[in-house]
Copies of this chain bind each other. A is one copy, B any other.
């Protein structure tokens, strides 16, 4: 019966039928016991459970998935660039998703989307190949045309953090526009008029919307925005550092960076240029990374609950798996954004 042992330490898998024959019951009975079916009387249940324990039996999730037509897995797609620029953002997002999937008995498989990945519609593939029952797609690009295809598919699929232009898909996110507006308004309330903006990536809705919020606050305050006041920082320390130099040329008295990491880059550039923060130039960031309160000076920023936002996306697809009828509006509200005043803006303690 048994093959010759494998090279290093054979391991023979214990199957359900092994448990069944040891207990002298049928395999169906074992299966029913394991799925907690109330039809099985207690003594049979106990007998089976004991054998399971003694034999260290673990049902194959693969066979189970095939029979159940569900892998009990959530696919999470993060952009490739994330692996370079702002780890904290995506790590927090993964944390938020995992905190929902693990208790629900779902596994989380993580894929990084590069260009090829997107062109091959890997997100759809994950679903069609049955690798995942649902997908949370983090940081979709505004220009991602392929996503329109997902509208027609009846798979549980949700965007998180960023939505795509003209695509009617559910998206869990924070209020980028309002958060950026809050930050800018705070600087305005401190008397600043020449406020520079270091933008995130405008390929993403959060990048565009944060710039929108900044512009809206300026407009409402009757302040003009010079073209030279808006510079790209690409979520990158180096880039935002360089961007800061050009803002200094443009004579701004305050800088709003669309992500804390970019604010760190800005602060370093200011320091190297011999400017004091906030005396010479005030700085405000966004996202409230843990480190921000430990910066020198501590960074005023907008709290934006990344983990919560991503967790909501996970909750949503989980619910959708259970009842495919659920509509978009069940996603619920956006996590609240909130101004956290520290000393980098000159308005705090």
* 30 A–B contacts, CB within 8 A, in A order: A8-B324, A10-B154, A11-B153, A11-B154, A11-B155, A58-B125, A58-B128, A60-B66, A61-B129, A61-B131, A62-B71, A62-B130, A62-B131, A63-B130, A83-B95, A83-B98, A87-B87, A87-B95, A88-B88, A94-B94, A98-B110, A102-B112, A108-B110, A108-B111, A109-B110, A237-B291, A241-B294, A261-B291, A264-B291, A291-B291
Contact mask for chain A residues 96-122; partner B; CB cutoff 8 A; 1 contact, 0 none: 001100100001111110000000000
Give the docked Cα–Cα distance between A94 and B66 (Å).
Answer: 28
Residues of A50-83 contacting chain B, CB below 8 A: 56, 58-63, 65-66, 71, 73, 83
Q: Taking the full assembly, how many copies of this chain does it contain? A: 2
Residues of A within 8 A of B (CB): 6-11, 13, 56, 58-63, 65-66, 71, 73, 83, 87-88, 90-92, 94-95, 98-99, 102, 107-112, 125, 128-131, 152-155, 237, 241, 261, 264-265, 267-268, 271, 290-291, 294-296, 324-325
- Contact A324 to B87, CB < 8 A, known contacts A11-B154, A294-B237: no
Q: Which residue, A61, A92, A265, A271, has most C-beta atoms of chain B within 10 A? A: A61
In this complex, what residue of B is CB-closest to A73?
A: B109
A304: min CB distance to chain B, Å: 16
Query: In the assembled complex, which residues on chain B have CB atoms less than 8 Å from the CB atom of A129?
Result: 58-61
User: Which of chain B's residues have a CB closer than 8 A to the CB of A294?
Assistant: 237, 241, 264-265, 267-268
Q: A60-B66, A91-B91 are in contact. List 9 more A-B contacts (CB 8 A).
A: A11-B153, A62-B71, A88-B91, A94-B110, A107-B111, A109-B109, A237-B291, A264-B294, A265-B294
Chain B positions within 8 Å of A153 at CB level: 9, 11
How distant is A183 from chain B, measured CB to nearest CB, in Å? 21
A34–chain B nearest beta-carbon distance, Å: 12
Contact A9 B152 (CB under 8 A): yes
- The complex places the Cα of A295 from the Cα of B6 at a distance, in Å, of 53
User: A91 and B87 in contact (CB under 8 A), knowing A58-B128, A237-B290, A291-B264?
Assistant: yes
Neighbouring B residues of A296 by C-beta, 8 Å: 267-268, 271, 295-296
The answer on a CB contact under 8 Å between B7 and A324 is yes
Given contacts A154-B11, A268-B296, A324-B8, contact A102 B107 (CB under 8 A): no
Shortest CB–CB separation between residue A288 and chain B, in angstroms? 14
| Contact for A66 among B58, B62, B90, B264, CB less than 8 A | B62
Query: What is the bound-complex CA distance between A102 and B294, given in angstroms?
Result: 36
A-B pairs with lowest CB-CB distance, top 4 = A9-B154, A58-B128, A87-B91, A91-B91
List the B residue with the shortest CB-CB distance to A298.
B268
CA distance A161 to B128 in the complex (A): 36
Which residue of B61, B66, B109, B291 contacts A108 across the interface (Cβ within 8 Å)? Answer: B109
Q: Hey, which chain B residues are within 8 Å of A92, CB to CB?
A: 87
B291 touches A61 (CB 8 A): no
The distance in angstroms between the C-alpha atoms of A7 and B63, with both chains bound, is 27
Report yes or no: B7 in contact with A325, Cβ–Cβ below 8 A. Answer: yes
Q: Shortest distance in angstroms between A276's beta carbon and chain B's nearest beta carbon?
A: 12
Given contacts A88-B87, A108-B109, contact A130 B61 (CB under 8 A): yes
